[in-house]
Amino acid sequence: MPASTLDSLVSLCKRRGFIFPGSEIYGGLANTWDYGPLGAELKNRVKREWWKTFIHKRPDMVGLDASILMNKKVWEASGHISAFSDPLVECKKCKQRFRGDKLLEPKIGVEAAAILKLEQVQKMLQAEKISCPSCGSKDWTEAKKFNLMFKTHQGVIEDAAALVYLRPETAQGIFVNFKGIVDTMRKRLPFGVGQIGKAFRNEITPGNFTFRTREFEQMEIEYFFDPERTEWKKLFEEWKKQSWSFITDVIGIDAKHLRLRDHEKDELSHYSKGTTDIEFQFPFGWGELCAAVAYRTDFDLTKHEEVSGQDLHYTDPDDPTRKIIPHVMEPSFGTDRIVLAALLDAYTEEKLPNDETRVVMKLHPNIAPIDIAILPLSKKEHLINKAQELYKKIVQGTDLVVDFDITGSIGKRYRRQDEIGTPKCITVDFGTLGEDDKQGAKDTVTIRDRDTLIQERLTIAELASKLKVAG
């Protein structure tokens, strides 16, 4: 994918109302982005498909919506206060700060950069002759640990006792509610809990559009199991497949632009027995799209039991004398990165037979922000009325998202719908009204396919049955 694709996409996103720069009328706030009407629709669809796939369609899963602000002991137990940090280096000349491992990745690779010890980072930057991206100097400070958690205060007194963190991941909310879920939902192992929500990380070097931001959304699952009854390797492989299938079959990202990457032994956290990421070929190189699965053993629940003093054991219903701390598989998806990858994957510039170039977003129909556009051929009032009748019929009789567009020539309106990825356009013309046989028979409309450009003439009744319009 050429590097210029990202610039073309950023510009399309702004021009068409997918993603705007944050706080723009005030000069912006670096690396913040706001999802516009179409972006919000697209992102909601990604979340809806995820919820449907992993929560609604599985009897062994339930959903959760935990708070962003949590007791700070949660982060003590999870290890985030002591260890959730990145190596921060400063350019001695221009004083700009960067993430040392990320500067090294293009030279030494993701795996090697991830396992560097703090004291090795500066030496490696010097050895690899890495220049400061801002001023070109090669003079780096020693790396320091920089904790990525955002801090704030709860209540009116801003002292240490009131300190709280914005959650850096949604997962801990699941562990903290494990006992409540077991006590109320009558789930037996193995079962999983999924949740979608915002997470915050004070990233040292955000950038590449929405790839790395300080506020983002995650869709995470903790799948609890008894390691004596369920073989972890088998479960690990199953989750790998399910995560891959969500990204390719449900979201529709082309497998050619994806790969699985197993974390090296040295790269794994001490408690993890295996992690596999799904990576996408971004215009700036391969990057993590999501963690397809991470096997976190019983680390989290054990730590929460220790720090909270609460009993978080699970009692085996078949043998009440057997009490265990379940182990977990954790598939962890970043909503914003999936949206970005889906947009990049869909972005297509095509030469048409008349030599014009059209930009078309070949988004999977599951996530396209608009399902159908209704386009009256001209602005004549009775034609618009007829088209509006059809619009109302579809909107009221289905769950489809329908756009009604009368602005500009029909060609321009098709181009706009192509650029926003609308899979089907329906044109209402004078044939539909019974006023022009050459355009088509009375009560027929044209339906145009975004990708093939094939136009089909259907009766309104046939269209209604194709779209499963109720009533």
Residues that bind ligand ATP (CB under 6 A): 169, 201, 203, 212-213, 216, 218, 288-291, 332, 334, 336-337
**Residue 212 or 450: which CB sits closer to ligand ATP?**
212
Measure Cα distances from 124 to 94, 96, 110, 266, 334 in Å.
20, 18, 14, 18, 30
**Residue 202 or 388: which CB sits closer to ligand ATP?**
202
**Residue 130 or 247: which CB sits closer to ligand ATP?**
247
DSSP conformational letter for 287: E
| CA nearest to 300, candidates 331, 273, 327 | 327
Minimum Å distance from CB 102 to ligand ATP? Answer: 9
DSSP conformational letter for 312: -
Length of the chain: 471
Minimum Å distance from CB 126 to ligand ATP? Answer: 24
Minimum Å distance from CB 14 to ligand ATP? Answer: 19
**Residue 291 or 394: which CB sits closer to ligand ATP?**
291
Asked whether the beta carbons of 314 and 179 are under 8 A apart, the reply is: no
In DSSP terms, 224 is beta-bridged to 191, 328
Which is it for strands 258-262 and 314-315: parallel, antiparallel or unpaired?
Answer: unpaired
**Residue 337 or 450: which CB sits closer to ligand ATP?**
337
Measure Cα distances from 320 to 99, 183, 192 in Å.
50, 15, 21
In the chain, the amino acid numbered 217 is: E
Minimum Å distance from CB 334 to ligand ATP? Answer: 2
DSSP conformational letter for 302: H
- Dihedrals φ, ψ of 277, to 5°? -95, 155
**Residue 216 or 244: which CB sits closer to ligand ATP?**
216
Minimum Å distance from CB 54 to ligand ATP? Answer: 15
Task: Select the residue whose beta carbon is closest to ligand ATP and give its number.
Answer: 334
Minimum Å distance from CB 340 to ligand ATP? Answer: 9
Minimum Å distance from CB 103 to ligand ATP? Answer: 14
In the chain, the amino acid numbered 361 is: M
In the chain, the amino acid numbered 443 is: D
Integer Rg of the chain from CA: 26
**Residue 41 or 336: which CB sits closer to ligand ATP?**
336
DSSP conformational letter for 82: H
Query: Whole-angstrom Cα distance, residue 64 to residue 194?
Result: 6
Torsion from C-alpha of 251, 293, 76, 149, nearest 10 degrees: -40
**Residue 288 or 371: which CB sits closer to ligand ATP?**
288
Minimum Å distance from CB 364 to ligand ATP? Answer: 19
